[in-house]
Structure 1
Amino acid sequence: MTRKYQKTDALSEALDSKNLEKVLEFISEDCVLIAGNGEAVRGKENIGKVFEGFFPAVKSTKHDVTDIFESGESLVHRGMVTYTRLDDSQLTIPFCDVFKMKDDLIREYYIYIDWSELFN
């Protein structure tokens, strides 16, 4: 079965390379981002600021997307992400990203992850 939103497969690569410009290519101007139990962030520019703040807080990330599900305008990426902290220690945890799509862009971006150990 051909997937409708194959373009989003490159999102993890853009995140792992900390390429903000590339990440924002996937996001609609009116996108809403909710990460973990955080507040909703509205608009592409504000979402860019969230990633700008997060990228320097970790040395690197490596996403391993193990499952991708599509249903209508909804898309789910599930897998494991390994964070390398600034002190070179690592943490690998599961994540699940849920996207609501519109015109091949993410208009709702939900990140389900437990970051409680990341900065301890």
Structure 2
Amino acid sequence: MTTTMFPGTRAAIVKNLIGLFERMDVDTALSNFTEDAHYRFGNYPPAIGKQAIREATMASHLDYIKGISFDIKSMWENADSVICELEINYIRNDGSVLTLPCTDIFRMEGDKVKEMLVYMDPTPLFTAPETQQETILDIAKRLIAAVEANNVEEYVTYFTPDGAYKIANNPPIIGPQAIKDFAIPIMGMFSKVSHDVHNMWQVDANTVTVELDVTYFRKDGKVFKFPCLNIIRFQGNKVQEYQAFLDATPAFS
């Protein structure tokens, strides 16, 4: 059977694939590859075939991290190829965050990845992080990564005991337990919630502002994307106030 592909279709497949890697769901990600697919990460030797790619992925970097998120900067589709420029936020096993630039090339065969080439220098990932005080920007990145991973348990640990979470026009929710009780049923409505961060600024000693798009993937297959601005105020290394300015009403209708 011949598969008809339309412009942008392969880019959409790649975005979905990146989301699977973000959830560290390697097995499902590999279902999007051909049986004889080629994979090359940085300067590592190429891996050929799904089992070899699984082993190469684990050996190259997944054993060194407990979480990962991707900020896609640009994506181009040309014939059977998709090029993706992005920043990768690695959450190391010690909790520190490392952000590295990367560009990937995906060559497709129908709706499957025939070849994936990862162009980056991952050396800092395997180097012990310098001893330095974590910044509130680092913490904000980990906070967003916890949402990407649908890890509510970790997410609420970033708040002070009286920390407030406020979304749009709703009244603030106070304290980690109340935030958790609010978030779990909300997150249960969606198979995934992704964040495409455009800019992140530390505007003063205690405040981070994040400009992003939030995409809700509802379990009934509907997808909703909304512009959003977050203001995160810290008390020390904990979130005292998190305000999300967006209108996500259509995702819940």
TM-score between both structures, scaled by the size of structure 1:
0.92
Task: State whether structure 2 residue 70 is matched by structure 1 residue 63.
Answer: yes
Deviations 1:57-80 (A, max 9, x none): 211110111211011111111111
* Residue from 38, 42, 45 that aligns with 1:39: 45
Offset of residue 52 of structure 1: 3.5
Size of the aligned set, in residue pairs, is: 120
* Distance (whole Å) between structure 2 residues aligned to residue 21 and residue 43 of structure 1: 13
From 109, 114, 120, the equivalent of 2:116 is: 109
- Look up the match of 1:100: 107
Q: Give SS of 1:87's match.
A: coil
Q: How far apart in 1 are the matches of 2:67 and 2:31? A: 20
1:83 aligns with 2:107: no
Superposition RMSD on alpha carbons, in Å?
1.5
2:19 is aligned, of 1, 9, 13, to 13
Is this contact kept in 2: 1:73–1:102, CA < 8 A?
Answer: yes
Identity %: 24
User: What's the secondary structure of 1:59's corresponding residue?
Assistant: strand
Runs of 5+ in structure 2 lacking a partner?
A: 1-5, 128-253
TM-score normalized with structure 2 length: 0.45
- Distance in 2, matches of 1:42 and 1:95, equals 21
Q: Name the residue aligned to 2:8.
A: 3
1:118 and 1:48 map into 2 onto residues whose CA distance is 19
Q: How far off is 1:111 after superposition?
A: 0.3
Mapped contact 1:64–1:81 kept (Cα < 8 A): yes
Q: Distance in 2 between matches of 1:28 and 1:64?
A: 26
CA distance in structure 2 between the aligned counterparts of 1:55 and 1:23, rounded to whole angstroms:
14
Q: Distance in 2 between matches of 1:61 and 1:105?
A: 23
Quote the residue 2:58 is aligned against: 52
Are 2:96 and 1:74 aligned? no
Q: 1:2: how far off?
A: 4.3
Do 1:26 and 1:106's aligned partners in 2 also have CA atoms closer than 8 Å?
Answer: yes
Please give the secondary structure, in 2, of the residue aligned with 1:109: strand
